[in-house]
Chains A and B, each alone.
Chain A
Amino acid sequence: MSNNPEIVKESSMVMQKEMIANNYDQLTSTAETGRKVVSTFVPGNLNELIMCFGLLNNLPEINAIQNGMRKKSGAMIMDAERSGHSEDVCTYVKSDIGQMSKGNVAPNGKPMPPPDLLLLSYTGCFTFMKWFELLRHEYGCETVMLQVPYTGAGEITDNMRDYVVKQLKEDVIPALERVSGVKFDIDLLRENLRRSAEAEDNLVWVLESAKNIRSPIDAYFGGVYYIGPIFTAFRGTQDAVDYYRVLRSEIETRLAEQKGPVTPEGDMQEEKYRLVVEGPPNWTSFRDFWKMFYDEGAVIVASTYTKVGGVYDQGFRHDPDRPLESLAEYCLGCYTNRNLPNRVNMLVDYVNEYQADGLLINSIKSCNSFSAGQLMMMQQVEKRTGKPAGFIETDLVDPRYFSAANVKNRLESYFQMIEQKRSKTEAA
């Protein structure tokens, strides 16, 4: 995570780095190993199932993030726009398509193999559907659709669950069998799910450690690292179990030592503001963006972005006893598959339970799934918590939409407003 030589790397960071490197190495050596690759999305990511077939899991969103953080996405997006993709649509898609046209080089510098199967888990985002149609347009490979109905009325109905399970049985599993040549073994799946649940327990503990005043973690900028393994190709692996065990013990130590969150410039000093953040971060200026917070003593104590690949802190666990049903429920329960009233409830609870000073929304141009309606959510959360909300706008991986001066101006005003309000409450 940190490239800063003065900072001692925590062992969880080293572990994660190795896991990721290892995964990219496996992906880019399929020519030698003959392993097959499935591409799929973070929300509704069926890693446990994919593992049952010995397939490798490639997540284009993660590639886009990697390219964003390495400041390569800008050129890729422009490439895609040049080839006729609209400037209005999600930049993850364009970054992915641009990466392809630039030789499809993985972040480890080696060429990425074309996928053998596109597993279109249509969960919580419309763009996913067209994204994989576009990839199919380019690769011409097999595509299997898993439609995850939106929980428009706020709950998972039997019809939804049955529909997802049925698609798993009749379409997804047969496709995975076909591509891999491996027969489906439900016991293997149960085994994977058990490991998922174990890792999930520790992840939830870590995220909730931010309830402490003087939080030992930043649940957004740090949080995106903590969710890495569980949201991607590692859920259900022993590596993930180990990672979360180590991570938890590190945070336990920080807590005991009364330390604040780690930042790229060392431990954070004073905790001046506690915020809940809604919306994904900006990746192209991730460090600069983060710095605008820790320089001012702002800690993010809870965020919804860390729930896109699964909402675990509200009680859901993968369940080895109901393997396919629990996979279905996992998909149905992902953050962006929840209706707006539910998202508002979650945010209100976060502000209250984590004793936050307010809600900050980072509205992402790319992502209608997150962004459409955020302003109404903001109003509702303000009304129900009485805490002030802030609003900034950036984009995921399009550097043209990160205006540092603009964001900084708003954040400063927001922090000063919290400060002013607080000094008034103290005076009263």
Chain B
Amino acid sequence: MKCYIGIDLGSTTTKAVIMDEHGEALGHGITNSRSNYDTASRVAKMEAVISTRFTLFRHRLERVPELKGDISGLLADLERSFRLELFLEQLEDLHQTCSKNVDTVPGIDSSEAVHEALEEIFRNLAKTLEELFAPGAERKSDFFRDLAGSVYMQVSEDVARQTGLSYDPLLNIYDKSIIEVENRPPSANLDEKFLAALDRVTREKRIDEKLLRKPIEDALKEEIEECYTVGTGYGRVRLPFPKENIRSEILCHGLGAHLMYPGTRTVLDIGGQDTKGIQVDENGIVANFQMNDRCAAGCGRYLGYIADEMNMGLHELGPMAMKSTRTVRINSTCTVFAGAELRDRLSLGEKREDIIAGLHRAIILRSMSILSRSGGVSDEFTFTGGVAKNEAAVKELRKLVEENYGDITINIDPDSIYTGALGAAEFAKRSGIEKPLH
């Protein structure tokens, strides 16, 4: 099967979208943008391939008459189990790496005690992770780093307290090891994991294995042929691509938003360290755009700092802000000082959720200015980028758009974080069909 790939190498996350020659997006993948952009785009692409496989499974399973009606649940179970397989493998890797790193971290009196503590921590981790992947469980994030990290912190603080070890070296070991692990994409064969996941699901759900095995194996045999790749995003200059395979993220976001919602005339994208207001015409062609100036105040990273400061997951910020009853006015959106501002407010006795709500409003106010600079908001308006996942931000945005521009259709796709990559994939398809890459 001929496939076209768009990669959006963002400052926080790297996204990939795989598109077929008819323009259908088959799969997408996301990963943390890490120290090595090559790895990041490789991992994102691999994730997109995984997601494409699931799309292909769906296509095949839809043709199995006996399964009628129950595919989505089945696929979700499959995916969950598959992730768990991946995570367990990475966890094992992390465990070994941590053990190996014990001796390289200073400030450790008894490495034996640390090794013991690590055993305990990882026993706990494996258990907690399996729980996190139990049917119906909620997860803070889908990144290994986030999940493993937050569990590790909790567990190691407990273990440290019980054993009288100091907490800092344990953290240092983690900090050091997670990087190594992240930079190693899962090594073993993906197909094997798909099949292992299949086994697990059929066992859990008592489904006849034979019904599923053949279609899944067939889907796995289908070749995903990479015909043309276009890169975009902040790190695009670092992509190992020739110039004609690179598009500015403005064009990609414009086009991506147009593909998702053809009626789009204004796009707001809030990414990790930039905010863009884009005006597009009926063909998704960019008519005007503005970005934040050199100051990264009020971009997505700001929320990251806040989440770190509060020791919360990014996912949890929005819901917490939604609980607010009165908004505290926050005037500085300087990312670096976000933490200080937060502490300042807390010490004045303001409530957490009110402050957080204020912070969200501050971000949105800033993007309203950028929109205003780019020519305002016209119907329809599409909100993209990581921050679009945040309900509190969305709520403020709706309010302010209505106050300033009246009644406007606001589109937010659950997959809006992939908008740039989708646009890039479409560019890849257009170029690839014109002149295939050799």
Chain A residues close to B by CB (< 8 Å): 375, 379, 382, 388-389, 391, 393, 401, 403, 405-406, 409-410, 412-413, 416-417, 420-421, 424
- Pairwise interchain contact B288-A388, C-beta atoms closer than 8 A: yes
Q: Which of B285-312 contact A (CB under 8 A)?
A: 285-291, 293-294
- Pairwise interchain contact B289-A413, C-beta atoms closer than 8 A: yes
B422 at the interface (CB under 8 A from A): no
B237 at the interface (CB under 8 A from A): yes
14 contacts between A and B (CB under 8 A): A375-B373, A388-B288, A403-B294, A405-B237, A409-B234, A412-B248, A413-B250, A413-B289, A416-B251, A417-B288, A417-B289, A420-B251, A420-B286, A421-B286
Which chain A residue shows the least CB distance to B236?
A: A409
- Return B148 CB to nearest CB of chain A, in Å: 33
Which of A389, A409, A410 gathers the greatest number of chain B CB atoms within 10 Å? A409
- Pairwise interchain contact B287-A388, C-beta atoms closer than 8 A: yes
- Pairwise interchain contact B287-A410, C-beta atoms closer than 8 A: no
Q: Which of A382, A405, A410 contacts B288 (CB 8 A)?
A: A382
Residues of A within 8 A of B247 (CB): 416
Q: Which of B234, B285, B375 contacts A424 (CB 8 A)?
A: B285
Residues of B within 8 A of A410 (CB): 291
Tell me the bound Cα distance from A389 to B279 in angstroms: 12
Tell me the bound Cα distance from A393 to B283 in angstroms: 30
- Return B131 CB to nearest CB of chain A, in Å: 44
Give me 14 other A-B pairs in contact (C-beta within 8 A), A375-B373, A416-B250, A417-B251 excluded: A382-B288, A388-B288, A389-B288, A405-B237, A406-B294, A410-B291, A413-B250, A413-B289, A416-B251, A417-B288, A420-B251, A420-B286, A421-B286, A424-B285
Q: Which of B248, B281, B287, B290 contacts A391 (CB 8 A)?
A: B290
Q: How many residues of chain B have a CB within 8 Å of chain A?
A: 20
Tell me the bound Cα distance from A18 to B293 in angstroms: 40
Tell me the bound Cα distance from A171 to B306 in angstroms: 60
- Pairwise interchain contact A417-B286, C-beta atoms closer than 8 A: yes
Residues of B within 8 A of A413 (CB): 248-251, 289
Query: A393-B293, A403-B294, A424-B283 known; A409 and B248 CB under 8 Å?
Result: yes
Residues of A within 8 A of B234 (CB): 409
Residues of A within 8 A of B283 (CB): 424
- Return B376 CB to nearest CB of chain A, in Å: 10
- Return B113 CB to nearest CB of chain A, in Å: 47
- Return A416 CB to nearest CB of chain B, in Å: 5
Residues of B within 8 A of A409 (CB): 234, 248
Residues of A within 8 A of B237 (CB): 405
Residues of B within 8 A of A416 (CB): 247-248, 250-251
Residues of A within 8 A of B281 (CB): 424
Residues of B within 8 A of A421 (CB): 285-287
Q: Which of B234-287 contact A (CB under 8 A)?
A: 234, 237, 247-251, 281, 283, 285-287
Residues of A within 8 A of B293 (CB): 393
- Return B253 CB to nearest CB of chain A, in Å: 10
- Return B5 CB to nearest CB of chain A, in Å: 20
Which of B248, B283, B288, B373 gathers the greatest number of chain A CB atoms within 10 Å? B248
What string of 1s and 0s marks CB contacts (under 8 Å) between B211-251 and chain A? 00000000000000000000000100100000000011111
Residues of B within 8 A of A375 (CB): 373
Tell me the bound Cα distance from A417 to B254 in angstroms: 10
- Return A298 CB to nearest CB of chain B, in Å: 15
Residues of B within 8 A of A401 (CB): 294
Residues of A within 8 A of B248 (CB): 409, 412-413, 416
- Return A127 CB to nearest CB of chain B, in Å: 21
Residues of A within 8 A of B249 (CB): 413
Tell me the bound Cα distance from A34 to B375 in angstroms: 59
Tell me the bound Cα distance from A389 to B293 in angstroms: 15
Which chain A residue shows the least CB distance to B255?
A: A420
- Return A310 CB to nearest CB of chain B, in Å: 31
Tell me the bound Cα distance from A332 to B358 in angstroms: 48
